[in-house]
């Protein structure tokens, strides 16, 4: 579905992505693990176009996203859903307005059906009567659920999750991870999840990649990944077990 070839991104002298290659399979959950500061968020931002890589290719439906002009790229973006690290809900809007935002902006749904559609996606993310609440009145976990509802209301082909459980307690983290898995099963979407949380990866992943030194140094099906012989991967896995 998405194939990344030789992706490179540097900030000054610091090379964050160093000719990175990655293939994201359609209809699967791919998790990218890695230590902090290894460029996991830079990778996701490069794909969704909020950062411009220095070189390389990001192929989606056999088209290179990096060669596209903004109007063409925006059409592709309509096939993306993104759950940002802190949910990135609009402070000035209530939950209903936040969730409805993309469908209202692009007139994807008839005006009189918007309310029902918002309710439907809020039910999918297991949120009750919160439409009138503002982001400042929500807990971290609820914000993530609202962010996910906003991401899926456009029926995206692929959903990107940037550290979906960061800052959440273990119980809420588990419920969010389970939600991602359920969501994928219900909507049959492709998911790319960036995280450093091994428990989340173990629970939801079909494929796991390990990002280190700006490259994916290990990529395999979940079961095989956990049997990796790579010393760097083993160190990460063992550190998590120890923790």
Residues of the shown chain interacting with other proteins in the complex, contacts defined by CB under 8 A:
45, 48-50, 74-75, 77-78, 80, 82, 84-86, 88-91, 101-102, 105-106, 154
- What residues have CB less than 8 Å from 187, skipping those under 6 apart? 152, 155
**Residue 207, token pair as written in the block:** 């494929």
> Taking the complex as a whole, how short is the minimal distance between the CB of residue 77 and other proteins, in angstroms?
5
Q: Which is nearer to other proteins, 48 or 149 (CB)?
A: 48
Q: Residue 56's closest CA among 195, 214, 191, 220?
A: 214
Q: Least distance from C-beta 84 to other proteins, angstroms?
A: 5
CB 105 → other proteins: shortest distance, Å? 5
Residue 37's SS3 state is coil
Cβ nearer to other proteins, comparing 77 with 215: 77
- Comparison of 90 and 110: residue with beta carbon closer to other proteins: 90
Instruction: Report the alpha-carbon distance of residue 131 to residue 2 in Å, rounded.
Output: 34
Q: Which residues pair with 26 in a beta bridge?
A: none
User: Looking at the DSSP assignment, which residues form a beta bridge with residue 158?
Assistant: 80, 190
Q: Which is nearer to other proteins, 37 or 170 (CB)?
A: 37
Contact call for residues 29 and 180 (beta carbons, < 8 A): yes
Min CB(184)–other proteins separation in Å: 19
């Amino acid at each position: 579905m998405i194939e990344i070839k030789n992706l490179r991104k540097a900030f000054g002298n610091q090379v964050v992505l160093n000719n990175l290659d990655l293939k994201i399979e359609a209809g699967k959950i791919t998790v990218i693990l890695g230590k902090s500061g290894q460029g996991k968020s830079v990778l996701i931002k490069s794909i969704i176009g909020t950062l411009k890589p220095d070189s390389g290719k990001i192929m989606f439906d056999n088209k290179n996203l990096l060669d596209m002009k903004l109007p063409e790229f925006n059409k592709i973006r309509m096939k993306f859903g993104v759950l940002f690290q802190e949910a990135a809900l609009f402070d000035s809007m209530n939950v209903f307005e936040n969730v409805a935002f993309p469908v209202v902006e692009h007139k994807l749904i008839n005006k009189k059906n918007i309310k029902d559609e918002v309710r439907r996606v809020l039910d999918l993310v297991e949120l009750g009567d919160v439409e009138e609440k503002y982001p400042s009145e929500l807990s971290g976990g609820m914000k993530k659920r609202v962010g996910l509802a906003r991401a899926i209301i456009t029926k995206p082909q692929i959903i990107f999750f940037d550290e979906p459980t960061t800052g959440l307690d273990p119980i809420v983290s588990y419920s969010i991870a389970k939600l991602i898995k359920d969501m994928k099963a219900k909507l049959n979407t492709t998911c790319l999840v960036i995280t450093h949380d091994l428990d989340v990866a173990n629970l939801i992943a079909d494929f796991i990649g390990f990002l280190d030194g700006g490259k994916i140094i290990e990529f395999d099906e979940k079961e095989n990944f956990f049997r990796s012989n790579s010393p760097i991967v083993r160190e990460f896995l063992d550190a998590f077990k120890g923790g």
